[in-house]
Amino acid sequence: VENRGRAPVEVALAMTAGGAALELAPSAVALAAGERRQIRVVATARGLPSGPAAGELVAEARRAGETRTLGSARRSLSFVVPEVR
């Protein structure tokens, strides 16, 4: 994720797959002005069948404490839901 602005922002992360919302950790990342960072996000996919799946990751940037979205991005991705043991 990257903040190309001159002020700090918080980037909220959300993911859906198969019509279900997945639980993400972290679900938000704070970035300083001009900061660029690689992050690892863990998704919990309760209720999805095991095997390959397609989803969409959405990131929305806001100034801390504000509700107005400064920018957003959507990315399609594929992942594998592990078999429950």
Tally Cβ neighbours within 10 Å of residue 14: 16
pLDDT value of position 84: 79
Q: What is the pLDDT along the chain (85 residues), one digit of tens a residue?
A: 999 989 999 999 999 998 888 999 999 999 999 999 999 999 988 888 889 999 999 999 999 888 899 999 999 999 998 887 7
Tell me the C-alpha distance between 82 and 55, whole Å: 15
